[in-house]
């Protein structure tokens, strides 16, 4: 997978979209009370009751009649981990590409916001990643790293997305084809931080292009099973898959894990918008 210049430009537009959609803290986001001469102005945000009046930009108020406070780089101290699943099950129908694109987009937004970004590509274990990226200038490193992530390597182990470090926000982008997904998600939730689960699926997983007498082979385990697939079998498969997906969503809801299902064929802009708009998994609360 290659992230070209067009993709980079699209990230910029996504950044603007993100800024427009996100007016509050992200899940797990903390503001630092520290201030100093080296504070770097980052952006304005709407005034909310309780904000320090010293940071109100009176010039903007005079111009627009609306209260806005200045945001400084040092104010943000969000440790963000974006982990993308690159296991073998993700190698079907564009799921891996979508996961890496979403990881790139979210990472770019985090870098642009001044967050400290870590990213990881995982399967049965962590296969690639980087720690402590700050500033948009590190976006290239992010994209090149995601490009180089190995493809289709081994089974899914969701627990491999994390590394045990303290994070403010952990975003796991995966198809969650792991029987231990629930235990893994519980383990990935950072202490005092937030966990977001982005479920990547494909339309072909509901409408699989297979029929007749076939030998099914699990892409991750190599296990085989002969099957005579007819319409009735397809209906049962669809129902079982949908039930599994719904169960995952229900679990995340019970565990207060923001959950978003992303179809692999959905354009990235729509995906990011869905994530960041109110009600999305990454929307401010």
**Other C-beta atoms lying within 10 Å of the C-beta of residue 207:** 10
The DSSP bridge pattern shows strands 116-122 and 79-85 to be parallel
Interface residues with other proteins (CB under 8 A) are 88-92, 95, 175, 177, 179, 205, 208, 210, 212-221, 223-227, 229, 233, 236-237, 239-241, 244
Nearest to 165 by CA among 149, 134, 188, 196: 188
Residue 184: C-alpha distances to residues 52, 172, 197, 257 (Å) = 39, 11, 11, 12
Closest approach of other proteins to the CB of residue 8, in Å? 30
How many residues appear in the chain? Answer: 285
- Dist CA 98 CA 178 (whole Å): 19
Closest approach of other proteins to the CB of residue 244, in Å? 7
Closest approach of other proteins to the CB of residue 239, in Å? 7
Q: By C-beta, is 5 or 223 nearer to other proteins? A: 223
Q: By C-beta, is 50 or 222 nearer to other proteins? A: 222
Q: By C-beta, is 40 or 224 nearer to other proteins? A: 224
Q: By C-beta, is 66 or 221 nearer to other proteins? A: 221
Closest approach of other proteins to the CB of residue 140, in Å? 31
Q: By C-beta, is 6 or 225 nearer to other proteins? A: 225
Q: By C-beta, is 3 or 93 nearer to other proteins? A: 93
Closest approach of other proteins to the CB of residue 173, in Å? 15
Name the token pair of 142. 């992010």
Nearest to 12 by CA among 281, 272, 254, 278: 272
Question: Which residues, 6+ apart, have CB-to-CB distance to 95 below 8 Å?
Answer: 89, 175, 200, 201, 202, 264
Nearest to 220 by CA among 181, 177, 255: 177
Closest approach of other proteins to the CB of residue 259, in Å? 19
SS3 261: strand
Closest approach of other proteins to the CB of residue 99, in Å? 13
Q: By C-beta, is 128 or 229 nearer to other proteins? A: 229
List residues bridging with 45 in a β-sheet.
69
Cα dihedral 135, 138, 143, 146 sign = negative
- Dist CA 31 CA 101 (whole Å): 28
């Amino acid at each position: 997978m290659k992230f070209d210049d067009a993709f980079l430009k699209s990230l910029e537009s996504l950044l603007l979209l993100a800024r427009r959609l996100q007016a509050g803290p992200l899940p797990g986001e903390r503001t630092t009370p520290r201030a100093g001469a080296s504070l770097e102005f980052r952006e304005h945000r709407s005034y909310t009751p309780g904000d320090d009046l010293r940071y109100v930009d009176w010039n903007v108020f005079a111009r627009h009649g609306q209260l806005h406070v200045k945001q400084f780089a040092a104010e943000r101290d969000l440790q963000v981990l974006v982990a993308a699943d690159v296991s073998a099950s993700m190698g079907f129908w564009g799921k891996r590409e979508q996961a890496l694109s979403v990881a790139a987009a979210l990472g770019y937004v985090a870098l642009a916001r001044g967050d400290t970004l870590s990213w990881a590509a995982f399967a049965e274990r962590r296969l690639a990643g980087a720690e402590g990226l700050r500033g948009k200038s590190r976006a290239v490193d992010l994209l090149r790293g995601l490009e180089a992530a190995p493809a289709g390597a081994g089974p899914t182990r969701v627990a491999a997305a994390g590394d045990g470090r303290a994070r403010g926000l952990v975003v796991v982008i995966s198809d969650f084809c792991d029987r231990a997904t629930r235990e893994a998600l519980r383990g990935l939730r950072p202490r005092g931080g937030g966990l977001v689960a982005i479920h990547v699926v494909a339309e072909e997983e509901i409408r699989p292009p297979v029929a007749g007498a076939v030998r099914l082979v699990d892409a991750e385990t190599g296990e085989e099973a002969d099957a005579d697939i007819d319409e009735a079998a397809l209906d049962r498969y669809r129902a079982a898959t949908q039930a599994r997906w719904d169960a995952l969503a229900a679990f995340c809801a019970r565990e207060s894990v923001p959950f978003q299902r992303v179809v692999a064929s959905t354009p990235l802009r729509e995906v990011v918008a869905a994530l960041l708009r109110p009600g999305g998994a990454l929307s401010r609360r």
